[in-house]
Amino acid sequence: MDAPSEEFVLVGSLEELKAEGRRVVQGSHRPILVIYDRGRVFALDNRCPHMGFPLERGSVEDGILTCHWHHARFDLESGCTFDLWADDIPICAVEVRNGDVWVTTSFGHRDPAAHWTQRLADGLAHDLDLVIAKAVQGQLTAKVPMAGIARQVTLFGAQNRDGWGVGLTILTALANLLPFLPQDEAYLALFHGASRVAADCAGEAPRRERAPLGSRPKPAALKRWLRLWTSVRHREAAERTLLTAIAAGVSPAMLADALLSAATERAFADTGHSLDFINKAFECLDLIGWEHAPALLPTIVRHAYFGERDR
């Protein structure tokens, strides 16, 4: 959606609107619902942002507009929803000139990219597929790079689940295909990846952040330590050692060598998926940027080295 313009259309007289309570006028793209309530005039997109039903058929009470199809409720003044699954209604500017009501013919979010980024965060946090689908499409329409969308979903998955999950594997596998997919299929790849990450994180405890050591040992020592902590199943020590290696600027190739070497200490941890988790984590960082290694790489330690049940 575009930012609002300053083109206005006449709704009618204020007295007529008072008598009718509401009126629908045609905007530049879609119908606009104009409502008189408690001495004020409000103008909003007439389509419910949930599934597009006409809000003119809804009810207004105490400043709350309710859509009768799915009972989504909205703050009449701001258009903001009380139900996160419904999304906010875009609003229009209103002016009263010499007893007549005028509204802008276009509406939208002033910063569409920021709006849909926040809506994707909401959809992921509450595991709402419809919100995720709309937010991904909204970001793409707002020219947000596909890698940026994948990055947002990846970091959500890394922060909101105690360990790498199948959703991040699926997201990475689909994101690898994005350069080769037509636009409509790229959208579906991003949606399905994001949906699986949200499902993985639903009801899970978030990760506990750990910090690197204060020293910067040589890479060979860090590699030995990582193998040691794996063999004695000391997860926290393994994560801190890995974070220390990242903070020391160890190259991706050396990190891969250290992690894969440590994985051989417990080759059958988590039914033998450790190599796949490590591989996918590195592929994911190639996609979203290696500056996110401290957030992402520690997520593989729990599953890859210590198994699903170990804490």
Average pLDDT score over residue span 52-81: 93
Three-state DSSP class for 249?
Answer: coil
The residues near 286 (Cβ < 8 Å, ≥ 6 apart) are none
Three-state DSSP class for 175?
Answer: helix
Q: Does residue 164 have a pLDDT over 50? A: yes
Provide the pLDDT for residue 19. 93
Three-state DSSP class for 197?
Answer: helix
Q: Which of 81, 92, 91, 93 has the alpha carbon at shortest distance from 118? A: 81
Q: Does residue 284 have a pLDDT over 60? A: yes
The pTM assigned to this predicted structure is 0.83
**What are the residue ranges of helices labelled H in the chain?**
14-20, 112-126, 129-141, 146-159, 166-175, 183-201, 219-231, 235-247, 252-263, 274-288, 293-296, 299-306
Provide the pLDDT for residue 4. 40
Q: Which of 25, 30, 24 has the alpha carbon at shortest distance from 1? A: 30
State which H helix or E strand residue 74 sits in. strand 73-75
Greater pLDDT, 274 or 64 = 64
Q: pLDDT category, 306, cuts 50, 70, 90?
A: low
User: What is the DSSP pairing of strand 94-97 with strand 91-92?
Assistant: unpaired
pLDDT single digits (tens) 287-303: 999 999 999 999 998 86
Distance CA 127, CA 302 (A): 24
Return the CATH superfamily for domain 8-104: Rieske [2Fe-2S] iron-sulphur domain (2.102.10.10)
Q: Does residue 270 have a pLDDT over 60? A: no
Average pLDDT score over residue span 21-33: 89
E strands within 55-131? Answer: 59-61, 64-66, 73-75, 91-92, 94-97, 100-104
Provide the pLDDT for residue 307. 57
- Decide: 310 and 233 in contact? Cβ < 8 Å: yes
The residues near 261 (Cβ < 8 Å, ≥ 6 apart) are 223, 226, 227
- Decide: 299 and 281 in contact? Cβ < 8 Å: yes
Provide the pLDDT for residue 296. 96
Q: Does residue 226 have a pLDDT over 70? A: yes
Q: What is the mean pLDDT of the chain?
A: 90
Provide the pLDDT for residue 183. 85
Q: Does residue 50 have a pLDDT over 80? A: yes
Distance CA 88, CA 66 (A): 12
pLDDT single digits (tens) 183-220: 889 999 999 999 999 999 999 999 999 999 999 999 99
- Decide: 134 and 149 in contact? Cβ < 8 Å: no
Cα torsion through 255, 261, 262, 267, rounded to 10: 130
Q: Cα separations (Å) of 201 from 38, 121, 130, 194, 311?
A: 43, 12, 17, 11, 17
Distance CA 173, CA 136 (A): 17
Strand order in the sheet with 94-97: 8-13, 100-104, 94-97
Q: pLDDT category, 176, cuts 50, 70, 90?
A: very high
Provide the pLDDT for residue 6. 59
Three-state DSSP class for 103?
Answer: strand
Q: Which of 189, 149, 146 has the alpha carbon at shortest distance from 170? A: 189
Distance CA 284, CA 292 (A): 10
Which of 228-232, 249-253, 282-286 comes out lowest in average pLDDT?
Answer: 228-232
